[in-house]
Each structure stands twice: as structure tokens, then as C-alpha cells.
């Protein structure tokens, strides 16, 4: 997984699949949420995401009050979020 950020936007290339990926995402988003109330995640081609990332996104939205938007490039990941009823919570859209 490759992670890049600019202002309040984060782009992820590759699959989100390991605990190290989660830690990288968390560190990046913790820095951004300190300065911004809105975060846009561009998840280009990941097929899925770990439960720890899903849980962290839930915390950002429900506890921290962050306005999170996920722009999903892979239909399989979009279907997963739909199946888990998280599309509206994460404001997920097809990219």
C-alpha cells in the first residue's frame, strides 16, 4: 500500500491488508484531523480493507465528528461497504 496526502485529502494506492497499513493510515489521519474537520480519502484500487481500518473510520465519524468522504475506485470494495451498511456513514462514492 502506498499512502500520500495533501491538505485534507489522502490517496491510497494498493490493497489495505496489514496492521502496518492500518498504522500508517491512522498516523496520517490523526495529523490531518488535528487541523481539518473534513477528510477525503481516495482509495484507488484496494479490493477490501481491514476491520481495524473500518473501526478507525467509524471512530472518526461517530466519536470525533469528522466529515469523512471515501472515493472508492474498486467495485468490490464499494459492494463491501454497501453490504456492511457503511456507505452512508462514510459518505462513500464511486470514484
The domain segmentation of the chain, as residue ranges, is: 2-94
Beta carbons of 40 and 9 less than 8 angstroms apart: yes
Phi/psi at 83 (5° precision): -60, -35
- The per-residue pLDDT for range 45-64, each reduced to its tens digit, is 999 999 999 999 999 999 99
State the pLDDT at residue 32. 97
Question: Along the chain (95 residues), what's the average pLDDT of each consecutive run of 10 residues?
Answer: 96 96 97 96 96 97 97 97 97 96
CATH of 2-94, one of 3.50.50.60, 3.60.15.10, 3.30.43.10, 3.30.750.24: 3.30.750.24
> How many Å apart are CA 6 and CA 39, to the nearest integer?
10
Phi/psi at 10 (5° precision): -125, 135
Answer whether 0.95 is exceeded by the pTM.
no
Amino acid at each position: 500500500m502506498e499512502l500520500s496526502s495533501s491538505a485534507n485529502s489522502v490517496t491510497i494506492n494498493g490493497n489495505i491488508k496489514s496492521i502496518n497499513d492500518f498504522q500508517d493510515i491512522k498516523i496520517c489521519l490523526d495529523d490531518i484531523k488535528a487541523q481539518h474537520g473534513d477528510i477525503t480519502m481516495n482509495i484507488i484500487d484496494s479490493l477490501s480493507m481491514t476491520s481495524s481500518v473500518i473501526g478507525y473510520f467509524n471512530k472518526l465519524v461517530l466519536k470525533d465528528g469528522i466529515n469523512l468522504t471515501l472515493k472508492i475506485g474498486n467495485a468490490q470494495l464499494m459492494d463491501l461497504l454497501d453490504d456492511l451498511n457503511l456507505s452512508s456513514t462514510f459518505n462513500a462514492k464511486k470514484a
